[in-house]
Amino acid sequence: MKAEQRVFVQGTSFLDSEGRTLLFRGCSVGGDSKLPVNGSVPPAEVSFVGRPFPEAEADSHFARLAGWGFNLVRLVITWEAVEHAGPGLYDEEYLSYLRNLIKAAEPHGLFVYLDPHQDTWSRFTGGSGAPAWTLEALGFDLSRLKPTGAAGGWEIAAPAGSPPDPFGNPVWPLNYHRYACATMFTLFFGGNTFAPGRYVEGVPVQDWLQDHFIEAMKHTARRLKDCANLIGFGTLNEPHPGFIGLPSLSSRARMMAFRGAVPTPFEAMTAASGFETAVSRFSFFGLRKSRGRETLNPEAVSLFREGYQCPWLEAGAWAIRDGRPTAVNDGFFARGDFAADYLKPFQKRFIEAVSKKREHFVFFMEGVPMGARSSWPAEDRLRSDGKELQIAESFHWYEGFLLAFKKWRPYIAANSLESRFVLGVGAVKRSVIAQFAALAAPARAEGIPAIVGEFGVPFDLDGGKRNRTGDWLANESAFALQYEAIDVCGLHSLVWNYSATNRFERGDGWNGEDFSVWSESIGSGRAVRGFSRPWPVAVAGASPVFSFDVTARAFTLSYEARPGRTEVFVPSHWFPEGWTARIYPAESGVIVLEERPESQRLYVSGEGEGPVTLIVEPRP
C-alpha cells in the first residue's frame, strides 16, 4: 500500500486513490479481544498484549484472511485495553503491539479500522469495554455487583487465580436491563440532563466519562498515525441508551435476550440500594412472562461504598420513605430523543477530536442495534474548521430465529424489524433482502455509505453437532443467503468474527459465543465456501451490480466503465477446475482481461467508457 491515505468517501461510495469504487468485504478480529490475556489479576494489572493473537503469528493470520478474499479488518479493541491502570494512564506496551499488528496487515492488502468495542458497558458488568475504575468512580463496590443483582456474568470480580467459566452467561444481554450497565450508559450519554449534581473529580460525570474515553482513543490514534493502512475508527460499538427514553420507571422495554429475569428501572434501583427485590422472568424476547419470579439482592446489601448512593435517588427519580423505596417521578427518563440529543453530540465530539490526528480518517458510526440512529444531513457533516467529515453508517444485523434456537432452517426466519416470523424459502430470502435494504436506506438517503458492520452465523448449531461432525453445510447455506442479500443491496460488510483462540469446547472464549470462522480445534476455517465468494474488490467505474449463482458457480458484474483497472476476487475453492471470463463492452474501448488464478484475481483494464458486463464461469 502507498504511504498516503487511500480510502475516501464520495457520496454513498468509498473510493481509492485511483478513483476506483471500493467494495469492502471484511471480518472483525476478534471476539476474544474483549478479554485480557491474564484476567484473574487485579483490574489495573491486566494486559491485552497478544489480543487478538501474538505478534509473531500475525502474518499467518492476516495471510489467511486475505486468502479468503477479505480486504478490511475491523480490529476490536476496548477502552479497558488502552486505559485499564487508571484515568489518564495508557498502556503504551499495548499500543506499541497494536501498531506493529496493523503494520503486519499492510503487505497483505488489508485495510484496518479500529472498533472501540463494548458489550453491556464492561467485562465487570458481564460484557466488555470500559475499565473497572469507571464503575468505582460512581462508588460501586465491584464485589457487590452480582449479589445486588446489578449485573450478572462470569467476569465480575473473579477472585485472583480463579479460572473463568468458559461458557460464560448465555443471556448476557440481560445486563442492559440491570442497574450497573443501564446507569453507566445513562450517565455517559445523559448525565448532564439526568444527574446534573453528580461530579467526579470536580467535573460533571457525563463530561468526565466522555472526556476520558475520547482522550484514550485520541491518544491511540496519535500512536498509530504512521500506519498507512489504518483508514479510521468506529465511534463506539452498539451504543445503548440505558434508562434514557423509557416512559416509566416500571417499563421493561428493549429486551434483547431470549429469556431471563428483567427488572424494571425502579426494581433495579431498589435492589442496588440494598432492598430485596422480586422481579419477573420473561421469555421470547419479552413477549411472554415466564412462570415464577427471581429475587435480586436476597441479602439486602448495598452496591455502594460508604459515602456514595444511587445517583437517581439523589436526582429525585425515587425516594426512601418510612424505610421503603417509593417511585416519585415516574417519567423521569422520558426526556429528549436519545439519538438526536445524546448519541449524536457524543459522536460529533469523538469525530472532531480523533480526526485531528488524520484528516482523512473514516468514522464508522453505529446506532442502537435495530433501533435509533443519528441523522447526518449534509449541513451536519462539517468539522468546526469547515472541512467535511468522512463518515459511514455501520449497522448490525443477525437472524433472530438462528440466534434464539441455534438451528438453521432456510424456510423459517425472524423479521427483526417487524418482530414476526417469516415462512417459506422464497419469503425468507425476500425478507432478508428487505431488512438489509431498510437498514441501509436512511444513510443512503442522507448521501453517506452504508456497511453491515456485524452479521454472522453461530457454529454451535444443533447442540454442537456441526462442530463434532465437521459438516458445515447448514452454516454455508445461512452465509450464502445473507451474502446474497448483501450483494443484491450492493452493501459493504463485515462478518463476525475471527477468533484465533476459538476451540469447539469453549467457542470464542466470551460468554459462550461461537461465531469464529476459524477454529484452533481443526487449524482451519469453517464453512469457508459460505463467506468466501467472488466479488469486485475495486471497480474502475460506477454503479456496480453483481451476483454469484452458487448452483451454476457463475459470477456476473455489470458497471459503468471508466478508464482504469477493475479487480475481482475469484476464490479457487469455488473453481477447482479453473475458470474462464468473458466481457461484453458496449462501446469500442480496448478491454484486456488479465487472469491470475494463483492470486485468485481477475483484472479488467480498458480505456473505453460505458456499460460493461463481466461473467466468470467454471472452465469446461
Query: Predicted confidence band at 164 (pLDDT cuts at 50, 70, 90)?
Result: very low
Q: Tell me what pLDDT residue 2 has.
A: 47
Residue with cell string 465511534: 235
Q: Do the domain assignments include residue 606? A: yes
Q: Tell me what pLDDT residue 286 has.
A: 67
Average pLDDT over residues 384-391: 88
200, three cell numbers: 467526579
pLDDT 10s digits, 325-342: 999 999 999 999 999 999
Q: Do the domain assignments include residue 82? A: no
Q: Could you tell me the residue range of the domain that residue 606 belongs to?
A: 543-618
Q: Do the domain assignments include residue 296? A: no
Residues facing 8 on adjacent strands: 15
Nearest partner of 555 among 541, 540, 544, judged by Cα: 544
Nearest partner of 608 among 584, 593, 588, judged by Cα: 588
pLDDT 10s digits, 32-50: 999 999 987 899 999 999 9
| Number of domains the chain is built from | 1
Between CA 521 and CA 504 the distance in angstroms is 6
pLDDT at residue 258 above 90? no
Task: Assess contact for 558 and 544: CB atoms under 8 A.
Answer: yes
pLDDT 10s digits, 360-372: 899 999 999 999 9
Query: Residue 375 gets which letter from DSSP?
Result: -
Q: Do the domain assignments include residue 247? A: no
pLDDT at residue 218 above 60? yes
Ordered DSSP codes for 457-522: --S-GGGGHHHHHT--HHHHHHHHHHHHHHHHTT-EEEEEEE-TT-BTTTBTSSTT----SEETTT
Q: Do the domain assignments include residue 577? A: yes
Average pLDDT over residues 458-476: 92
Between CA 103 and CA 25 the distance in angstroms is 19
Query: Predicted confidence band at 404 (pLDDT cuts at 50, 70, 90)?
Result: confident
Q: Do the domain assignments include residue 388? A: no
Q: Which of 302-306, 344-348, 398-402, 452-456 has the lowest mean pLDDT?
A: 398-402
Share of the chain above pLDDT 90, in %: 81
Between CA 525 and CA 528 the distance in angstroms is 6
Q: Which of 123-137, 148-162, 246-260 has the lowest mean pLDDT?
A: 148-162
pLDDT 10s digits, 61-100: 999 999 999 999 999 999 999 999 999 999 999 999 999 9
Outline where DSSP puts E strands in 248-321.
259-261, 277-283, 288-296, 318-321
Average pLDDT in the chain = 92
pLDDT 10s digits, 265-298: 999 999 999 999 999 888 776 667 777 788 999 9
| CATH code of the domain covering residue 565 | 2.60.40
pLDDT at residue 540 above 90? yes
Q: Tell me what pLDDT residue 59 has.
A: 98
pLDDT 10s digits, 581-612: 999 875 546 688 898 999 999 999 988 888 99
Q: Do the domain assignments include residue 489? A: no
Q: Residue 497, preceding bond cis, omega within 30 degrees?
A: yes
Q: Tell me what pLDDT residue 165 has.
A: 41
Sign of the C-alpha dihedral computed for residues 284, 288, 292 and 296 taken in this order? positive
Amino acid letter for position 22: L
